[in-house]
Amino acid sequence: QVFTFNDVEIRVQPSVKVKNGAPLSIICHADISKNTDFQLKHNFTIFKDGKLVFMTVSDKEDARYEIPVAKSADTGDYECTVQADGKRSFSKSIYVWVVGMTKPILTADKKEVSEGEVVKLRCELPEEVPPLEFFFRKIKTNSAPKEKRVPEQNQNFSEVEFPVEEGDNILQFDCFGKRQVRSGWESSQHSNSTLVTVKEPFIKPTLITRPSSRNVTEGDQIEFECSTEVAQMRGIEIIFQKNRTILNSVRDEKSLKYSTVATQEDSGEYLCKVEQGAVSKTTKLNVFVSELFSKPKLSASVTKLDENKDLILSCSINSFRRANFSIVRKSSTGDILLKNSKSLTIKVNVNDTGSYTCKAEVKGIVKESHRIRINVYAPVSKPTLSVVSGSPEVVLGKPLQLICHSAMGTPPITFTFYKGDEIKKNVTNDTYATFLDEDIGLNDNGGYKCDARNNHSSGVKTSNILNVTVIVPIRDASLGSVPYGEVEVGSDTAFLCSVKEGSWPIDFKFFKKTDHEVLLHEVREYSDRTIWHKKTMKRKDTGTYYCMASNRASMDVRSRPITISVILAAWQKGVIAAFVLTAMAGAGAVALWWFLRKKKK
């Protein structure tokens, strides 16, 4: 008995795409060749998405997996396996799509609710298999539905809560579901509609004014009244506000009153809010307050004036004369009343500098004018010009910083710096200003001055001319000597130290190099050179010498060193030679005497 599998095939009836609720057959067919006609038992196994859904044993070459009522959960990839007498063969997979989903069922936990409560809904998709997505809708008359989406990974139902808001009356809820298929998303029908009726714990408040909100003038007594009707007084609260500012509030009352004397600042939107638990209802009202009189206007005869001059301040109102006027000066500690009048004349001093306003009062309404700034000026004193460092000197090539100072005068003061007749800088400051001259030349020995002026009518004050001495730094110090190089013991030596350039006086110092620097001589000269006479040179004076020069530029300039050798004088050399020859002659005589004596013996 020899057989072989030619093919294993899976088929679907009536189609691979069927409607939800229709019958569905999954057929596994084995194509087998035999050498003789003998019976063969076949083990059929059908899988959906890799999971076993059907098994049977038959001697026929076909096996049918019947699904009388197909559901969306039956959508998936099907394949089958046939096993016979130790041999096994597999079919290719086939995708079956059950189109459509079961209709969801919606239930609500209550049929009647109050504003501020919540409605809990449950939507179920019977016979559907997760993952699923649920969509809940809250439907109100004359408004777009509000929708909530809830994904569910492990169950075929979902629950959600909807708050009941102000204005909700009769609410309608429904739901539908979605699942993901190979071609995209598939939606179910909408569920049954569930109606929920809403009770009001209190009605929307009413807000009125006396007089009418369209007929209010500054100075009128205006009264607001906010009221509502409530089912239960406990926990009720009424709040009255304008621009987020709470003006009044009451608890456990049905109405609230608020009154004030109207001003133009009282124009705007008012809000009456009634709250109880989570429920809140509001009513808005716009109020316009007409102007009784315009803001007063303050005028000044002049805004900038010299001290001891007259200042006239006048206050007025356009097309309105009967008012109580006052003129005040502003201060950090409060207003200073100057006069209860519409005009004021004063002789000013510098302490009167400041801001002034006037006030007008009609029927209890007080309005204030814009501010006027009055500046009173004292004349500047004659400025002084000096060098910041203190000394009226500057080193050539270094910057020179000047300061111009005026001890008296009302700021701001404008300072002008001059170098010769040329204006170098203008500075506006309180009492002083500085100027940095970075272009110092050899001939810049004077000609600096400064002006000071402010808004006083006396004009410009000029400082004295400041003469500045330019200090030329020392350049190229050199040292020489007479005689040069070798000096006889006991003789005198003249050391000459000179510089090529440098302002007088110059400090000259002479040094000899040893293990440490030894200062031999120092002198101050109003010259570019100096001579130091060193008397009676000795052998120990042999060595290396140099000089150093400095002036008020505070820079020491050192010369190149020279070497001096102190040698014996000619007569000293003759004495030494005679002494040596005498010694040699004596030694010769002694030697001759010794030789002759020895010969005689």
In sequence order, what are the beta bridge partners of 169? none
What is the pTM assigned to this prediction? 0.47
Query: Do both 284 and 217 map to the same domain?
Result: yes
Centre a 10 Å sphere on the Cβ of residue 457 and count the other Cβ atoms it contains. Answer: 10
Query: Which range, of 127-136, 525-534, 592-601, averages the lowest pLDDT?
Result: 592-601
Above 70 in pLDDT, residue 49?
yes
Backbone angles phi, psi at 577, to 5 degrees: -65, -40
Centre a 10 Å sphere on the Cβ of residue 17 and count the other Cβ atoms it contains. Answer: 12
Query: Do both 496 and 547 map to the same domain?
Result: yes
CA 297 to chain centre: 42
Residue 590 lies in a domain: no
Tokens of 586: 């004596």
CB within 8 Å of 387: residues ≥ 6 apart: 393, 394, 400, 401, 402, 403, 466, 468
Question: What span, in angstroms and rounded, lies between the C-alpha atoms of 446 and 471?
Answer: 13
Give the range of the structural domain holding residue 234, as residue numbers without chain letter: 206-290
Query: Do both 329 and 349 map to the same domain?
Result: yes
Above 60 in pLDDT, residue 67?
yes
CB within 8 Å of 43: residues ≥ 6 apart: 55, 56, 57, 82, 83, 84
Residue 189 lies in a domain: yes
Q: What is the pLDDT of residue 240?
A: 95
Query: Do both 71 and 145 map to the same domain?
Result: no
CATH number of the domain residue 404 falls in: 2.60.40.10
H/E stretch holding 595 reads helix 570-600
Residue with tokens 């005869």: 301
126 prior amide bond cis, ω within 30? no
Q: What is the pLDDT of residue 39?
A: 86
Query: Do both 66 and 17 map to the same domain?
Result: yes
Query: Do both 388 and 440 map to the same domain?
Result: yes
**Burial of 414 per CB tally in 10 Å (0-12, 13-18, 19+):** middle
Query: Do both 24 and 90 map to the same domain?
Result: yes
Q: What is the pLDDT of residue 446?
A: 58
Number of domains composing the chain: 6
Q: Is the Cβ–Cβ distance between 189 and 210 less than 8 Å?
A: no
Query: Do both 479 and 561 map to the same domain?
Result: yes
CB within 8 Å of 150: residues ≥ 6 apart: 133, 134, 135, 136, 158, 160
Tokens of 352: 């009167």
Residue 578 lies in a domain: no
CB within 8 Å of 336: residues ≥ 6 apart: 328, 329, 330
Give 129's DSSP letter: -
Q: What is the pLDDT of residue 581?
A: 67
Residue 133 lies in a domain: yes
End residue of a domain, out of 199, 226, 252: 199
Selected residue with higher pLDDT from 233 and 261: 261
pLDDT tens string 442-500: 776 558 899 999 989 988 999 999 888 888 898 899 999 888 888 888 888 899 999 99
Q: Is the Cβ–Cβ distance between 410 and 376 less than 8 Å?
A: yes
570 pLDDT tier (thresholds 50, 70, 90): low
211 prior amide bond cis, ω within 30? yes
Q: What is the pLDDT of residue 91?
A: 94
H/E stretch holding 176 reads strand 170-181
End residue of a domain, out of 346, 377, 408: 377
Q: Is the Cβ–Cβ distance between 72 and 104 less than 8 Å?
A: no
Q: What is the pLDDT of residue 352?
A: 92
Above 60 in pLDDT, residue 16?
yes
Instruction: Compute the C-alpha angle 577/582/583, nearest 5°.
Output: 100
Query: Do both 467 and 530 map to the same domain?
Result: no
244 pLDDT tier (thresholds 50, 70, 90): confident
Question: What span, in angstroms and rounded, lies between the C-alpha atoms of 29 and 90?
Answer: 10
* Amino acid at position 145, single letter: P
Q: What is the pLDDT of residue 278?
A: 78
Above 80 in pLDDT, residue 568?
no
Above 70 in pLDDT, residue 571?
no
Across residues 240-257, what is the average pLDDT?
91
Classify each residue of 195-204 as buried b or exposed e, where b means 16 or more C-beta atoms within 10 Å of its C-beta: ebebebbbee
* Amino acid at position 521, single letter: H
What radius of gyration, in Å, describes the C-alpha atoms of the chain? Answer: 60
End residue of a domain, out of 290, 317, 334: 290
Query: Do both 263 and 214 map to the same domain?
Result: yes
Question: What span, in angstroms and rounded, lies between the C-alpha atoms of 435 and 75?
Answer: 93
Above 70 in pLDDT, residue 577?
no
Q: What is the pLDDT of residue 575?
A: 59
Question: What span, in angstroms and rounded, lies between the C-alpha atoms of 51 and 65?
Answer: 14
Above 90 in pLDDT, residue 220?
no
Above 70 in pLDDT, residue 569?
no
Q: What is the pLDDT of residue 133?
A: 94
- How high does pLDDT run on average in the chain? 88
573 pLDDT tier (thresholds 50, 70, 90): low
Question: What span, in angstroms and rounded, lies between the C-alpha atoms of 473 and 440?
Answer: 13
Residue 581 lies in a domain: no
557 pLDDT tier (thresholds 50, 70, 90): very high
Using alpha carbons, select from 492, 493, 420 the residue that is nearest to residue 450. 420
Residue 575 lies in a domain: no
Above 80 in pLDDT, residue 431?
yes
Question: What span, in angstroms and rounded, lies between the C-alpha atoms of 289 and 224?
Answer: 14
Centre a 10 Å sphere on the Cβ of residue 80 and count the other Cβ atoms it contains. Answer: 26
pLDDT tens string 379-428: 999 999 999 888 788 888 788 889 999 999 998 999 999 988 888 888 88
Percent of the chain whose predicted confidence (pLDDT) is above 90: 48
Give 382's DSSP letter: P
Query: Do both 38 and 81 map to the same domain?
Result: yes
Across residues 29-34, what is the average pLDDT?
91
CA 184 to chain centre: 49
Residue 584 lies in a domain: no
Residue 582 lies in a domain: no
Above 70 in pLDDT, residue 320?
no
Backbone angles phi, psi at 600, to 5 degrees: -65, -40
Query: Do both 274 and 340 map to the same domain?
Result: no
